[in-house]
Amino acid sequence: MEWLAAVGAVVGGAIGIVATLLADQLQWRRARGTEREQNLRDMYAEFLTALTKTSGMLRAAVLAHSGPANTLDAAVTGIFRESGIYEVRYRLSLVAPVRIARAGEATFAALRHARDELRAGHGLCSPEYEEKWQIYRARMHELRDLMRVELGVPPLGDGEFEA
């Protein structure tokens, strides 16, 4: 019967070890999920900020421009490099879920198309630019709402917090 006490102690110890390992594993998974969510939240905010900054810089460059058309072309082309949006776009494509990455790329492309209208000499009030600007805004709202849903926050819908 002495061996029964020894077996009981070993089994009890094994159960304790397994329970501790399972608890640690669960805690690690929770912490990892929280860290990933925070990283996504930061990345989403950074990308939306870069889009907004770039669009604002484009509009400001057009309003401030008074020289020949070719200098405006160079200025608005350079804004995409200066704003840092390319770098943020690449980081988003690495960490975001596929549907967010695709929506981010579509929003970026829409902003680039609006920029191309400015490069072509169309002003901020031109129908050509306005059409592209509205497409960009719609894509921006879609992207923002997809990001919110991904983070477990209800979408805002169109027209809220203009970009």
Q: What is the pLDDT of residues 88-101, one digit of tens each?
A: 999 999 999 999 99
Tokens at 31, concatenated? 């912490």
Mean pLDDT score of the chain: 85
Q: What is the largest CA-CA distance in the chain?
A: 100
Burial class of residue 155 in the structure, from the number of CB atoms within 10 Å of its CB (0-12 exposed, 13-18 middle, 19+ buried) = middle
Q: Count H helices, E strands: the chain?
A: 5, 0
pLDDT of residue 163: 47
With 0.85 as the threshold, say if the pTM is over it.
no
pLDDT in tens, 126-141: 999 999 999 999 999 9
Domain boundary assignment for the chain? 37-150
Which fold does the domain 37-150 belong to in CATH?
A: Four Helix Bundle (Hemerythrin (Met), subunit A) (1.20.120)
Give the residue, 7 or 152, on which the prediction is more confident: 152
Indicate the pLDDT class of residue 113, thresholds 50, 70 and 90: very high
Burial class of residue 116 in the structure, from the number of CB atoms within 10 Å of its CB (0-12 exposed, 13-18 middle, 19+ buried) = middle
